[in-house]
């Protein structure tokens, strides 16, 4: 089947099931004394596409603590990230070889306006992240997690993280450099497709449906590392932390929306722990 037609059919399926799911969930039962909340975010998106602020602000005010994937109050995170993504004893140009590297430089320059040489000492994940940034079709972009974090800080609500930056870097490193390089090269060669899929992903996200988003990601995911290391294993590590937080206080959690759906998603895992989860669509 033609991929564009498949996407349209999937979107129609998602729209029909929209009322059954959400990006914002109320967590109750077990030992949680008051409801907690779980929101699935898009890590970087157009400001105009983020229309959840009022509803989320109300739920944050009802919470006693705030958890993002990372504790955003930690100092030196940018420097630690740069260090963690630095190549040791080699470079992109050395790994790719001269002819392929020069082709990659040309394509990268056309897409971003920057020289790939600026990222020559960093793992391919760094350049891939930048390509994803440029695939988002607007100038005014926001990071919803940061916006929600600021709301919590304004309310003097304690903030924490489900993992450390070292944990995130370890998940990235679980994908071999050779595989990262292949993904980078493929993305540069087929950047129109990258932009198309990113735009489709944003449109599915705007349906406010965690099940729809999960199904779309499954249909477009050709990387087992992404599923196992960046989603499933991290979900498993987060669940005990979430359980303890909910037992102690009413908690607002914000994570990437891809972590919510599926049999290994946070919604299913929390239900297996004995919690009731209700989608909040209003």
pLDDT digits (tens, 9 = 90+) for 58-105: 999 999 999 999 998 888 888 999 999 999 999 999 999 999 999 999
Confidence at residue 43, expressed as pLDDT on a 0 to 100 scale: 86
* Nearest C-alpha neighbor of 20 from the set 207, 218, 239: 207
* Nearest C-alpha neighbor of 68 from the set 212, 1, 168: 168
Mean pLDDT of 260-278: 94
Burial (CB < 10 A; 0-12, 13-18, 19+), residue 97, is exposed
pLDDT tier, 282 (very low <50, low <70, confident <90, very high otherwise): low
Measured between alpha carbons, how far is residue 24 from residues 20, 53, 245, 256, 257 in Å? 12, 12, 18, 12, 10
Residue 49 near residue 142, CB atoms below 8 Å: no
**pTM score, whole prediction:** 0.88
Confidence at residue 158, expressed as pLDDT on a 0 to 100 scale: 96
Q: Which residue has the higher pLDDT, 213 or 155?
A: 155
d(CA 125, CA 123): 5
Residue 262 near residue 214, CB atoms below 8 Å: yes
Residue 276 near residue 37, CB atoms below 8 Å: no
d(CA 179, CA 131): 16
pLDDT tier, 206 (very low <50, low <70, confident <90, very high otherwise): confident
SS3 161: strand
d(CA 255, CA 61): 18
Confidence at residue 71, expressed as pLDDT on a 0 to 100 scale: 92
Burial (CB < 10 A; 0-12, 13-18, 19+), residue 162, is buried
pLDDT tier, 217 (very low <50, low <70, confident <90, very high otherwise): confident
d(CA 130, CA 53): 26
d(CA 256, CA 38): 10
pLDDT tier, 271 (very low <50, low <70, confident <90, very high otherwise): very high
Mean pLDDT of 106-121: 97
Measured between alpha carbons, how far is residue 64 from residues 145, 153, 174, 212 in Å? 17, 11, 35, 30
């Amino acid at each position: 089947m033609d991929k564009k037609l498949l996407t349209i059919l999937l979107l129609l399926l998602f729209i029909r099931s929209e009322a059954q799911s959400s990006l914002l969930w109320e967590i109750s039962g077990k030992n949680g004394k008051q409801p907690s909340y779980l929101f699935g975010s898009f890590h970087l998106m157009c400001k105009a596409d983020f229309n959840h602020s009022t509803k989320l602000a109300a739920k944050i005010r009802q919470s006693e603590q705030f958890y993002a994937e990372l504790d955003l109050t930690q100092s030196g995170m940018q420097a630690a990230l740069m260090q963690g993504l630095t190549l040791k004893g080699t470079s992109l140009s050395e790994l790719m070889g001269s002819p392929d590297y020069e082709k990659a430089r040309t394509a990268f320059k056309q897409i971003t306006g920057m020289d790939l040489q600026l990222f020559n000492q960093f793992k391919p994940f760094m350049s891939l992240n930048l390509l994803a940034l440029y695939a988002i079709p607007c100038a005014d972009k926001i990071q919803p997690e940061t916006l929600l974090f600021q709301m919590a800080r304004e309310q003097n609500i304690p903030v924490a993280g489900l993992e450390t930056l070292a944990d995130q870097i370890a998940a990235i490193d679980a994908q071999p450099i050779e595989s990262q390089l292949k993904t980078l090269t493929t993305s540069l060669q087929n950047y129109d497709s990258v932009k198309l899929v990113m735009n489709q992903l944003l449109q599915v996200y705007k349906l406010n449906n965690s099940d729809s988003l999960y199904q779309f990601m499954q249909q477009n995911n050709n990387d087992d590392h992404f599923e196992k290391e960046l989603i499933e294993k991290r979900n498993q590590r987060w669940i005990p932390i979430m359980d303890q937080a909910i037992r102690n206080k009413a908690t607002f959690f914000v994570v990437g929306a891809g972590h919510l759906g599926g049999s290994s998603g946070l919604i299913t895992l929390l239900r297996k722990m004995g919690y009731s989860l209700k989608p909040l669509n209003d």
